[in-house]
Amino acid sequence: MITGAAQADAAILVVPATRGEFEGGFSEDGQIREHAVLARSLGVAQLILAVNKLDTCGWAAERYHEIVRIMVPYLKSVGYKEKDIQPVPVSGLTGENILECKEPALKEWYTGPVLLELIDRFQLPPRQEDRPMRLCVQDVFRTLSLGQAVAGKVECGTILPRDRLLLLPLGETLTVRALESRGEGLNIARAGDNVELGVRDFSDPAVLQVGQWLCDPLHPIPMVTHFRAQIITMNYRVPLLAGSQLTFYTQACSEPIVLKSLMSIVDKVTGAVVKRNPRVLPRESTAVVELTARNKICLELFKNYRQLGRFSLRRGQDTVAVGVVIKLYRMQ
């Protein structure tokens, strides 16, 4: 889910209307909460809230509005703007209200757009074609047309056949042999495109790994093992202390990381410091922290490259925090 959301500009969050299923998914350990938080932390700002399985509730308007009243405030609390949240009642089993609305019991109270119409209303976000090229490797494979290939989303810049690109953190340079998207050849890949790149001139196919970055050799992505971030903590069970060992996720990259120091707890609206050097981070708080990694991580400042400066922190199967990078400590 993290890899998929890292490539998306928008998302459909499907929640079940069936009694008990929604309540279980929206519990503290439920996937509804976690997927909403992860999608937002990975830069997905537009969301359709598809209330599914309403056929199991007799297409009751009361059940639909109950779920919307719970979900919209929660989605706003994790960073979505209300204007970018579009609720819609559907049934995946019967296909109701996906292409058209036919169910008489639904038509009695719902007169809004069907799911496909809401998808068509998604706005294309601005693209950074004028910035140095960055692409996170989401997949590595071979095809007859491309040979050895990698796939990913061009976060900024452009790619042309025969371009020389730097593979980080390995530090090896390779050449783009050809470009494809959905099986069709391309003459150019631009920021926002999900593409497959045929590559050559590398030492060994084994050097290509999911989670690596391709970038402009003249403007490489900074590599760090130590950085400062502003994070929002989740509703977790075990307290977050200095020295906590976590897993760091950004795009398709995951690395072990240590919460080195807790610098301050800040007001989530104004950013003003509420408490300096706290001993523990409370649940659902905003804090400034420093983190250290065992291995080199490719990162950018959030203010410069929003998609490359977002991350999430997990402990086991739980997401404990999401955050943005505010300072990089360059390696000596």
Q: What is the pLDDT of residue 164?
A: 97
Rounded CA-CA distance 95/112 in Å is 16
**Contact between 207 and 150 (Cβ < 8 Å):** no
Tokens of 39: 């999608």
- Diameter over CA atoms, the chain: 68
Cβ–Cβ < 8 Å for 28, 235 = yes
Q: What is the DSSP string of 1-61?
A: -HHHHHT-SEEEEEEE-STTHHHHHTSTT-HHHHHHHHHHHTT--EEEEEEE-GGGGTT-H
Torsion sign across C-alpha atoms 136, 303, 4, 187: negative
The structure tokens listed for 17 are 């209307």
Confidence class for position 332, pLDDT limits 50, 70, 90: low
Mean pLDDT of 83-89: 95
Whether the per-residue pLDDT at 289 is higher than 90: the answer is yes
Tell me the average pLDDT across 78-84.
89
Question: For residue 3, what pLDDT band results from cuts at 50, 70 and 90?
Answer: low
CA-derived radius of gyration, the chain:
22
Local structure of 268: helix, strand or coil: coil
Q: Which residue has the higher pLDDT, 246 or 79?
A: 246
Instruction: Please name the amino acid found at residue 47.
Output: L
Segment 5-15 mean pLDDT: 85
**Hey, what domains does the chain have and what are their CATH numbers?**
2-120 (3.40.50.300), 134-215 (2.40.30.10), 223-328 (2.40.30.10)
Q: pTM for the full model? A: 0.76
DSSP secondary structure code for residue 317 in this structure = T
Residue 135's closest CA among 89, 166, 111? 166
Please say whether the beta carbons of 170 and 213 come within 8 A.
Answer: no
Helix 31-41 to helix 61-77 angle (10° resolution) is 40
What is the predicted pLDDT for the residue at 248?
Answer: 94
Tokens of 271: 């950013």
One-letter amino acid at 68 equals V
Q: How far is CA 249 from CA 122, 173, 314, in A?
A: 26, 25, 8
Q: How confident is the model at residue 6 (pLDDT cuts 50, 70, 90)?
A: low
306 neighbors 299 (Cβ within 8 angstroms): no
pLDDT digits (tens, 9 = 90+) for 23-33: 988 887 778 88
Closest CA to 6 of 46, 34, 41, 49: 41
- pLDDT tens for 43-56 read 788 999 999 999 99
Residue recorded with tokens 């631009």: 190
What span, in angstroms and rounded, lies between the C-alpha atoms of 321 and 312?
6
Cα–Cα distance measured from residue 90 to residue 106, given in angstroms and rounded to the nearest whole number = 9
Report DSSP state, residue 235: S
Q: Which residues pair with 174 in a beta bridge?
A: 165
Q: Name the most confidently modeled range: 204-208, 231-235, 268-272.
A: 204-208
Tokens standing for residue 218 = 């003249």
Residue with tokens 């959301």: 5
**Is residue 97 predicted with pLDDT exceeding 80?**
yes
DSSP 133: P
- Residues 287-292: what's their mean pLDDT? 96
Amino acid symbol at 126: P
Ramachandran assignment for 97, one of left (phi > 0), alpha (psi -120 to 50 degrees), beta (any other): left
